[in-house]
Structure 1
């Protein structure tokens, strides 16, 4: 996929109005071409086979076959880069997270529910994610594509020394990466964990709950004043920056302006960890678009932190890790399946 090639798009939604509105956005955007539309999952599967689009925009709630069922079939039989269109509701959040696990590249939240007459509000985001999706390696999106036997490094004695502060940042593809890493960490890991995953408002609580249900460590959406604890991971709530307090033992939340267009920001979190952590620190940058986290890992490294970045070979989008590596602050560049072991070693 090159920047000069026209990106072909199939729009899937059970609402004729939404198909037309999303289709109009595609048709009005230079470099994108609308090649077809479908009103349910069954039609989508047939259209993908006939038209071979570069990208599919997929609604979730549809008759006959919903978007999740269609996505699962497509990723098995006819893999295609897919951007989901999701509702704000809790049920929509859970379905969207499942879609990401099934192999969707990313998602865009409909501004006002299933029939969003104001879909133009997310025009820029939708176009950006369609363009980004067209360039991903589909092999990395198949369910279980990064699953390998647990690493031996996860076994053995866990340190009971001074608790480390572990900061992890991710964006596009990050929900799947976190689902690969966090369940492999031992309950007794010698670290308090701070997590930033770029997501819209309304999704981080569901993500924390899903990850918690699968992991030995505890994971929850952060709240103002939460105290750092060994084996507890605090996920920054969407719409809030999360920082380590000057006391170094708890987190604070704020709605200061977005940093480089994102809030929460990995940089904001990691810079505070570099400044205020009373113990040794470990920073991890996972798959994601852009360069959030690059300044943060540089700051952590200057103060003695150990930095890990995900290798290009397993990244859905090699943006954030690439920017981190280019700072010269990264100690280890590893494929996803080797990162849990590296984290445990660094936290001993």
Structure 2
């Protein structure tokens, strides 16, 4: 098996050395070069084979966004962005994901934690390995709709729909490639959706609020980061915070609230799709639709299968043809409990149709 050839792009010599030392702990990864700016990176990839690029967002000469654009133009390659844990850093990260980056890593405030925390080290190695399996053509061809078109009438939600009882629930789970997939699906949902939408996107703390704000600005349903004890409303999408499990419990008939749980990882993640789906096994309503989209691993498959047995829920899974990574959908399909397998651009319409809008 060939090593994963990695190019590190960062203006800090200290970070370049730290990343090199960290990545090469794993025998399957080979850092073939470490360069200090985007210009050097473009020159390198034009004459040398590279499987994955780690790219700092903030750099002189060419910043990360401009470098990413040029990489995708000259030689499309899986890119993992390194981003600061700030609002501005999060906004730049989502812009990078729009432009074709596979994933991102949040730089800790104390940079020395990278070399001292095994969790951070394992996360970086895992993200690079994930990126090496991504088909970049899928990244570059899946484009979110133009927000200017959608923004002409954002959050069109009737008062009656907002205040009505919750009788149906939609739950979505996604990981690698998820932010772009969510843009496609959530922005195309009806503003009169007679159900709340619960979303688990594998993402670190500090980024899920920015994701919610971004989706809210281009969608007809309201989109927000979930809050503990919040009562669910129809035509509203709730995104699990990056460091909490999102669970649902009944308050009374057709009334539900969110519980945010700081318990251990479930299926290797927090937030976890399985944790959300398992919680839905205990709610009174049987009218539940689950959706599993692009992502590495198997999170969501076990609980989806159990939910199907207990509630006879309906499950939609993203087709391999549009997945950035087919892991989570493939694991769901393997259970034999999936109802529909659809390309990304057909999922929102199917949800609208199933919910009668």
In structure 1, the partner of 2:15 is 18
C-alpha distance in structure 1 between counterparts of 2:142 and 2:335, whole Å: 31
1:235 to 224, 228, 239: 239
TM-align CA RMSD: 2.0
Matches within 5 A, 1:27-42: 27-42=24-39
CA contact (8 A) 2:46 2:74 kept: no
1:62 lines up with 2:43 in the alignment: no
> How far does residue 146 in structure 1 lie from its aligned partner after superposition?
7.4
**Structure 2 counterpart SS, 1:299:** helix
1:110 lines up with 2:107 in the alignment: yes
Matches within 5 A, 1:258-297: 258-278=265-285, 280-297=287-304
C-alpha distance in structure 2 between counterparts of 1:322 and 1:118, whole Å: 35
Q: Provide closer, same or farther for how the CA distance between residues 62 and 142 of structure 1 changes in structure 2, counting only shifts above 3 A.
A: same
CA contact (8 A) 1:282 1:347 kept: no
Q: Provide closer, same or farther for how the CA distance between residues 132 and 70 of structure 1 changes in structure 2, counting only shifts above 3 A.
A: same
Q: Provide closer, same or farther for how the CA distance between residues 236 and 18 of structure 1 changes in structure 2, counting only shifts above 3 A.
A: same
C-alpha distance in structure 2 between counterparts of 1:221 and 1:106, whole Å: 20
> How far does residue 182 in structure 1 lie from its aligned partner after superposition?
0.6
1:84 lines up with 2:81 in the alignment: yes
Q: Provide closer, same or farther for how the CA distance between residues 265 and 15 of structure 1 changes in structure 2, counting only shifts above 3 A.
A: same
CA contact (8 A) 1:165 1:277 kept: no
**Structure 2 counterpart SS, 1:186:** coil
1:178-237 per-residue CA deviation (whole Å, 9 max, x = no partner) reads 011110111011211111101111110000000000101100001011111110001111
In structure 1, the partner of 2:174 is 170
**Structure 2 counterpart SS, 1:276:** coil
Q: Which region of structure 1 is more displaced relative to structure 2, 212-221 or 299-308? A: 299-308
Q: How many residues align?
A: 334
> How far does residue 50 in structure 1 lie from its aligned partner after superposition?
2.0
1:198 lines up with 2:205 in the alignment: no
In structure 2, the partner of 1:156 is none
TM-score (norm 1): 0.91
1:245 lines up with 2:249 in the alignment: yes
User: Which 5+ residue runs of structure 2 have no aligned equivalent?
Assistant: 147-160
1:306 to 307, 314, 337: 314
User: Which 5+ residue runs of structure 1 have no aligned equivalent?
Assistant: 149-158
CA contact (8 A) 1:163 1:192 kept: no
**Structure 1 counterpart SS, 2:281:** helix
> How far does residue 46 in structure 1 lie from its aligned partner after superposition?
1.3
TM-score (norm 2): 0.89
Q: Provide closer, same or farther for how the CA distance between residues 327 and 60 of structure 1 changes in structure 2, counting only shifts above 3 A.
A: same
Q: Which region of structure 1 is more displaced relative to structure 2, 308-317 or 135-144? A: 135-144
